[in-house]
């Protein structure tokens, strides 16, 4: 059963009994409830949005209460919690669901022991679908350690294109600064910086969790798996460095943009000040002539209005010449 065609009312997304050679036998609820677990590793992938998941984990899975609480927690951050001979691992992956933002990362909660791996999610994760597809092709993980490592690896691999796309977006916005539309570019830069911050909020603890996982004291995690996990942690560190560099560039670009916007505003204010300075004397002259005390000067003279217009024009010309000579505009 695939992640896309399962019945919506069932909490089981899919389950497999690994054959130790890269493949696996699909399992249904009847197999799981019948206690089909053998020496082979069983992987159960559940949908947290279905209420049946809580019932199964608390009452039917055989997991202790602390593990069930960790898998069902409402709010999670990437972390690793060793419990007995197993590991509670919480990781995050890029949200590729329609309408989602890259920094709205999807949580996957995993309980892993030597013979059983239980994973839970609320939204679909392509990284987990990749692992399922590899099992269907017979080229998947052979044991619990490889399964856990494969999920972590695919989560990191799925981030690559997104991180690269964000870097390209930052470069494009930096190139557009000199092309106008400063307000639009400023808004886009602000959104991009928020995305960087959102991704970093989860990737920093995720890297730490991966490093702790690589050093976990469990016998079923082979040295090859630990080396693979360290490589995934290094890859996550590279993503963090790329995000930090892009965030710094976006910050510098935004500061330059704000400086240009400030200069643009100052030029407009300066122009308005010059216009005000030019017209202020004219307002004084016309106001003085209009006080109507003892009659309006020149009211009986036919050429008085023409003289006033020529006089004000001369005043404006003289002011503009003076301001230009002083290089005020």
Q: Are residues 299 and 235 in the same domain?
A: no
Same domain as 309, residue 222:
no
How many domains, in total, are found in the chain? 2
311 and 185 part of one domain:
no
Q: Answer yes or no: are the C-beta atoms of 147 and 112 closer than 8 Å.
A: yes
301 with 182, same domain: the answer is no
The answer to whether residues 92 and 192 belong to one domain is yes
Within-domain flag for 145: yes
* pLDDT tens-place string over residues 251-260: 888 888 777 7
The domain that holds 223 is classified in CATH as: 3.30.460.20
Same domain, yes or no, for 236 and 316? no
In terms of pLDDT, which residue wins out, 308 or 43?
A: 43
Highest mean pLDDT among 27-41, 66-80, 306-320: 66-80
**Is residue 48 assigned to a domain?**
yes
Q: What is the pLDDT of residues 20-45, one digit of tens each?
A: 899 999 988 888 876 655 678 999 99
Same domain, 187 and 116: yes
User: Do 153 and 57 share a domain, yes or no?
Assistant: yes
Looking at the fold, whether 320 and 229 belong to one and the same domain comes out as: no
Q: Are residues 80 and 198 in the same domain?
A: yes
Tokens of 314: 């001369």
* Residue 270 covered by a domain: no
Do 296 and 160 belong to one domain? no
Own/partner long-range contacts of 102-107 (Cβ < 8 Å, ≥24 apart): 102/162, 102/166, 102/195, 102/198, 102/199, 103/194, 103/195, 103/196, 103/197, 103/198, 103/199, 103/201, 104/198, 105/198, 105/199, 105/202, 107/76
* pLDDT for the residue 324: 78
Task: Supply the range of the domain harboring residue 147.
Answer: 12-260
Q: Which of 68-82, 149-163, 202-216, 282-296 has the lowest mean pLDDT?
A: 282-296
For the entire predicted model, the pTM comes to 0.77
Span 95-114, pLDDT tens digits: 888 877 877 899 999 999 99
Do 252 and 312 lie in one domain? The reply is no
């Amino acid at each position: 059963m695939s992640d896309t065609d399962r019945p919506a009312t069932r909490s089981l997304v899919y389950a497999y009994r690994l054959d130790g050679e890269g493949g696996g036998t699909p399992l249904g609820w009847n197999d799981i409830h019948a206690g089909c677990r053998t020496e082979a590793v069983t992987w159960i992938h559940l949908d947290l949005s279905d209420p049946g998941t809580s019932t199964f984990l608390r009452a039917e899975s055989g997991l202790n209460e602390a593990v069930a609480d960790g898998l069902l927690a409402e709010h999670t951050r990437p972390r690793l919690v060793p419990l007995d001979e197993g590991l509670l691992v919480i990781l995050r992956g890029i949200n590729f669901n329609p309408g989602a933002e890259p920094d709205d990362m999807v949580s996957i909660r995993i309980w892993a022991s030597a013979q059983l791996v239980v994973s839970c999610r609320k939204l679909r994760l392509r990284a987990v679908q990749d692992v399922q597809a590899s099992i269907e092709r017979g080229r998947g993980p052979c044991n619990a350690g490889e399964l856990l490592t494969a999920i972590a690896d695919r989560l990191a691999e799925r981030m690559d294109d997104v991180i690269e796309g964000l870097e390209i977006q930052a470069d494009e916005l930096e190139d557009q600064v000199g092309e106008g539309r400063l307000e639009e570019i400023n808004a886009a830069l602000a959104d991009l910086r928020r995305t960087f911050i959102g991704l970093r909020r989860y990737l920093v603890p995720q890297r730490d969790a991966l490093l702790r996982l690589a050093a976990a004291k469990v016998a079923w995690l082979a040295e090859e798996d630990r080396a693979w996990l360290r490589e995934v942690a290094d890859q996550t560190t590279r993503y963090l460095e790329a995000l930090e560099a892009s965030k710094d560039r976006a910050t510098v670009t935004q500061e330059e943009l704000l400086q240009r916007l400030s200069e643009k505003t100052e030029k407009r204010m300066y122009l308005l000040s010059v216009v005000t300075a030019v017209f202020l004397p004219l307002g004084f002259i016309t106001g003085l002539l209009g006080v109507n005390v003892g009659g309006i000067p020149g009211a009986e003279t036919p050429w008085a209005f023409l003289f006033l217009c020529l006089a004000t024009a001369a005043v404006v010309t003289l002011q503009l010449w003076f301001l230009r000579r002083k290089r005020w505009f």
